[in-house]
Amino acid sequence: MSEQIFKDLGPAHAALGAQFRRAALIDDALGILSWDQATIMPEGSAEGRAEQIAALSVMRHELLVDPRVRENLDAVRDLRGSQAGDSWAAGNLREMERAYLYAAAVPGDLVEATARANAVCEIQWRSARAENDFASLVPSLQAVIDLVGETASARADALSLDPYDALLDEFEAGTRVAQLEPLFGELARDLPGFVEEVLERQASRPSPVLPSGPFPVSTQRELAVELMGVLGFDFEAGRLDISHHPFCGGAAGDVRITTRYNEENFTESLMGVLHETGHALYEAGLPEHWRYQPVGQALGMAIHESQSLLVEMQVSRSRPFLEFALPRMQAAFDGQGAAWDVENFYRLYTRVERGSIRVDADEVTYPLHVVLRYRLERALLSGDLPLADLPGAWNDGMRDLLGIVPPDDRQGCLQDVHWPSGAFGYFPTYTLGAMAAAQLYAAAQGALPGLEDDIAAGNLAPLIGWLRENVHGKGASLTASDLLSAATGEALNPRVFLDHLQRRYLGDA
C-alpha cells in the first residue's frame, strides 16, 4: 500500500501522502454529490447542493495550499532524482507538485465562487435546454465564463502560460494552442472534403435500415447491462443510471455511468453506454495500491477519452463485435428481418452523416464538432465573441464545418453540459483521445494475435487485460507521451487515426 511506501521514504513523504489522501477522498465525495445532482436529486435541492459542493471544493483547496505541503515538497526535492529507486514515488511527487502549483495559483474565494456558479448554472442549463431557451441561461453562463477567465488568468500568471493554455493543461498536461492550431486547422481544412467523399461512397451502396421501435427503456437497460458485463464492468462496484447528458463519475471503487434513452432508436443509448463503460473500465483498472494518491489517478482526459473511444469506436462498431452482439440485440427486442443483419448494422454503426448532435456523431464528423467548440470557447473567453451572439456564431460554424444548421438552440449551443459546468479546455481532449484510441488499438492488435476472433466470440478479456497492463494500471506514473510511446512504440501520431478512417470508410471492406 502507498501508506507503507511513504513511511519507508520518510516523514515528509508520509505527511504529503496523508494530505493528498484526504484531498482525494474529498474528490470522491464531490464525485458522488455530482452524480446525485445529475441523476436523482430533486430540483428544489439545487441551492443547497451548490453550497455543499462549494464548501467541499474550498476544503480540498485548503488542503492543497496548506503551507506544510510546500514545506514538505521542498524537503524532498533533493531526493527526487532517485526516490529510492521507486519510479512510482517519483511520479507521485511530480503529480503532487503539479496539483500544488495549480491550487496555489487560485485564491480560495475564487475556488468557492467558481464551484457555486458551476453547480447553479448546470441546473439552469437543464431547464434552458429542455425549453430551448438560450436567453434564460445567459446570466448564469456569463458568470461561469467570467470566473473561468479569472481562474485561467491566475494560473497563467503562476505558470507562465497563456490563459487558454492554462485551461488546456488542467485537462491534459502539456497540451498547448500551438500544438492544436495546426492540427485542428488541418482537420477543418481536409475533413469536410473527406466527409463528402465518404457520403458519395455511401450513396453508391445500400442504405442501412434502422430497426423499427418502439424499444422499451427497461429492455434497453437489460441489454446494456449484459454487454457491460461482457466488457468486464463490475456491478458490485458500479452503477448504470439515467441523466440528461451521459457521463462517467462516482468515486474510487464506486464507478457510476449514465445514459439517456430513445425508445425509437436503441442504438444511440447502447453506444453511449459502451462509450461510458470504456471510461469506467479505466477508472476501475487504476492501480489500487496507489489509490487516493495523485499517481494512482487517471492520466488526463485525452487518455481517458482514448479508453471510451477505443471501446465504442474501435471495438463496438466493428464487424467482429457485431457478430457477437447482434444475436443478443435480436433476442432482446425480438428482432426480425433484414434490418437485423450484421452487414446492415455495420453500415448503420459506421454511417457518416452531417448531424447537429456531437454525442451522436460518427467518428468522421466528430472532430469537426470539436473544432467548432474549441474555436468558440476561445472566442468567448477572450471576449471576441459576446455570449449573446453564441447561437449565431454556433450556427455559422456548423454551416462552415459540417454543411448544416441546427434546427434550434437545444440541438445547437445548448446541447452540451461542459460550459455550464465550467469545463472550458476539455473539448480538444476528445479528438486527441480519438487519435490515441486508434493508436492503442492498432498496438493491441499487433500484440494479441487472433484479437478479432476473440471479440467475435465475446471474449474481451485479452484486450481489457492488455489495456490494464499498458494503460489503466499505469495510472499517472508516466506522462501521456511516455505512456503512448511505451504502449505503441511512438508518441501520439495523428496519421494512425487518419489511416483508420481511410480504411474503414473508403477502403474496399
Q: Which 8-state DSSP code applies to residue 246? A: -
Q: How far apart are CA 288 and CA 186, in angstroms?
A: 40
Q: Which 8-state DSSP code applies to residue 312? A: I
Q: How far apart are CA 256 and CA 235, in angstroms?
A: 9
Q: Which residues pair with 191 in a beta bridge?
A: none
Which sequence positions are flagged as catalytic? 276
Q: Nearest 5°: phi and psi at 395?
A: -65, -40
Beta strands in 159-282 (DSSP E): 238-242, 248-251, 254-259
Q: Which of 475, 355, 478, 480 is nearest to 406 (CA)?
A: 355
Q: Cell numbers 481532449 label which residue?
A: 429
List the grid coordinates of 324.
457477437
The helix (H) or strand (E) run that includes residue 144 is helix 134-159
Name the residue type at position 241: D
3-state secondary structure 429-444: HHHHHHHHHHHHHHHH
Long-range contacts of 109-115 (CB under 8 A, 24+ apart): 110/147, 110/150, 110/151, 110/154, 111/57, 111/58, 111/61, 112/54, 112/55, 112/57, 112/58, 113/54, 113/147, 114/57, 114/144, 114/147, 114/148, 114/151, 114/422, 115/50, 115/53, 115/54, 115/57, 115/58
